[in-house]
Amino acid sequence: MDLLAQLPFLEDQPPLVKDIILNLLLLIICILIIIILRWVLTAILFRPLRVFVQRTQTEVDDELLNQSLTPVRIAVVGLGIIFTVNLFHFGPEVQQIAETIGRSLIIGSVFFALIRMFEVVSLHPAFFRQITGLTIPDRLLPFLTTVVKYVIIALGAIFILQELDFDVAALIASLGVVGIGISLASQDTVGNLFGFAAIVSDDPFKVGDFIRTPDVTGIVEQVGMRSTRIRQLDQVLVTVPNNLLTNAVVMNLTRLEKRRFDVTLTFTYSTTSEQLRAVVEAIRELLLKTDDVDPESVIAHFVDFSSSSLDVRIICQILLADWREYTALKEKLLLEIMSIVEDLGISFAFPSRSIYIEDMPGAARPEQEASIDESQLPGQSPRPDHNSADSSPSSAP
């Protein structure tokens, strides 16, 4: 459209005034076209959609519609720019720049709408599971939302740069080299982030659980994206990197369904076989009658002749996960077992050793004492041998 032909009164104006008036009129017309398009789109499209989504029982579609309003308005601005430059006869350079800006706004609005929609969906795990069929833990959603948002932003930036005639391949190659250097410098941080994702997805523990690892034992207070904080029994707060926890053996004691009761009783060798049978049978009956003891797990047997005792092994599963309740029941069982042993007149054994000495080192035996030559004793003169010829009485001269 030749706007100058529609305004003949401008032909008599100076060129500078003519250009200024034409530019102002074009700007006003562009703004009016964009406003009209936004109003038409809102009146024709969004109002019926808003009435429709209000009739549904879920609130997710209402939030999606509200979040998509701003990206659609941005897209309308891009469409208005393209429509305006095609409606009026601008120069080729101006038209090319305007169309590039308009297409960039439309592309940006699409990726902006994707980010807004994913934020809404991520806040409703049930709706996300209904759409995709994937179940994502609630603690992993913030991390996943951040990653997906950065991916969408990166893809949108690539498309917009390609629309602006940038060499995207060279840019990606240079960013790849920089990324390699950054990844090498921050490999521990990246490892901790993936460790956080593994901890949240596998769910080996959660905040408030009592865990035990080769390096630390305590209550989990916080699971962060880089590290996990554990409060030890001595109240020391330990910060453990997530990548170390993912590679360590973690025992979650909070999730115990039952606890093992394993005791070995030692009795003296003066205990008779009848007493042993009686004590084993009494202990077995005690465990079977206890409410919180799994009857199928009860084991009570005489198992060994030890060096200083007769050993009876007692094993069972106590159906108490709480440590305090388990300790109280264990105390009760041990006291009942002591009463049984005392009633049967049996004594507990303790590690001992008997030593039998056959002879004292260095002491002479009786037969050895008779053969000792007293002449060899210190301070004694040699005893004359009466059986020798030298010791016989001499004859008189």
57: Cα separation from own chain's centroid: 36
pLDDT tens-digit readout, 255-264: 888 899 999 9
Residue 10 pLDDT level (bands cut at 50, 70, 90): low
- Looking at the chain, the whole-number percentage of residues with pLDDT higher than 90 is 19
In 3D, which of 36, 68, 38 has the Cα closest to residue 53? 68
pLDDT of residue 331: 95
Q: How far apart are the first and last CA of the chain?
A: 183
The single-letter code of the amino acid at 222 is Q
Q: Does domain 204-252 have CATH number 2.30.30.60?
A: yes
> How confident is the prediction for the chain on average, in pLDDT?
76
Q: What is the mean pLDDT of residues 280-293?
A: 92
Residue 266 and residue 313: Cα distance in Å, rounded?
9
CA-to-CA distance for 332 and 290, rounded, in angstroms? 10
- Per the model's pLDDT, the better-predicted residue between 92 and 236 turns out to be 236
Highest mean pLDDT range out of 1-10, 65-74, 313-322? 313-322
Range 124-140 average pLDDT: 64
**How is the chain split into domains, by residue range?**
3-185, 204-252, 259-343
Instruction: Give residue 233's pLDDT band: very low, low, confident or very high (50, 70, 90).
Output: confident
Supply the pLDDT for residue 34: 73
Greater model confidence, 290 or 62: 290
More confidently predicted of 126 and 307: 307
Confidence of residue 12 (pLDDT cuts 50, 70, 90): low
Question: Is pLDDT at 286 greater than 90 in this prediction?
Answer: yes
| Most confident of the following: 68-82, 141-155, 330-344 | 330-344
**Is residue 183 over pLDDT 60?**
no
Q: What is the band of 42 on the pLDDT scale with cuts at 50, 70, 90?
A: low
Distances (CA, A) of 57 to 52, 60, 249, 346, 364: 11, 9, 46, 74, 108
Which phi-psi region, left, alpha or beta, contains residue 133 (left: φ > 0; alpha: ψ -120 to 50)? left
pLDDT (0 to 100) of residue 340: 94
Q: For the domain with range 259-343, which CATH number is right: 3.30.360.10, 3.30.70.100, 3.40.47.10, 3.40.50.620?
A: 3.30.70.100
Tell me what the mean pLDDT of segment 346-366 comes to: 70
Residue 275 has a pLDDT of 93
Residue 59: its pLDDT value, please? 72
Amino acid at 21: I
Q: What sign does the CA torsion over 31, 33, 37, 43 have?
A: positive
User: pLDDT for 294-345, tens place per residue?
Assistant: 999 999 999 999 888 999 999 999 998 888 899 999 999 999 999 999 999 9
